[in-house]
């Protein structure tokens, strides 16, 4: 049950963020077994004053093509599954949209099952 936030610098192609989102969802579906139709995303584009990053943190050379992806999901996936997700996302963005591997920044936020309400004001997994 992930919630995905994708942030990019304003892009000349108005469909770019949505195409990134489709590839991220496909990667989650294949790498960490996210169910079909479990796709909730917030896509945001920012001007240069609202998209701040360090271009060389940890020895990785980033450009304005940086794609920041934050995925909030239920806890419990193995480190191997997470590493597969990182690789699958980065490689698909590189292959399909020519995003440099160095420009794919991913953050996973794991939460307990009871921290979700999918509608109707109830916690569907709260026991």
Instruction: Decide if 32 contacts 84 (C-beta within 8 A).
Output: yes
122 pairs with which residues across the strands?
119
Q: Where are the alpha helices (DSSP H) in the chain?
A: 16-31, 79-97
Angstrom distance (rounded) from CA 112 to CA 47: 34
Name the catalytic one among 2, 14, 35, 55: 2
Note if 35 is an active site residue. no
Among all residues, which ones are annotated catalytic?
Answer: 2
């Amino acid at each position: 049950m992930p919630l995905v936030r994708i942030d990019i610098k304003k892009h000349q192609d108005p469909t770019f963020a949505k195409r990134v989102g489709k590839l991220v969802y496909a990667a989650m579906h294949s790498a960490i077994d996210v169910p079909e139709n479990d796709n909730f995303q917030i896509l945001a584009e920012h001007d240069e004053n609202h998209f701040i990053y360090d271009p060389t943190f940890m020895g990785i050379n980033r450009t304005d093509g940086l794609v920041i992806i934050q995925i909030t999901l239920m806890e419990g996936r193995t480190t191997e599954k997470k590493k597969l997700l990182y690789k699958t996302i980065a490689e698909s963005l590189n292959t399909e949209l020519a995003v440099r591997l160095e420009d794919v920044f991913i953050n996973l936020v794991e939460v307990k099952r009871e921290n979700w309400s999918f509608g109707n004001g109830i916690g569907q997994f709260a026991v």
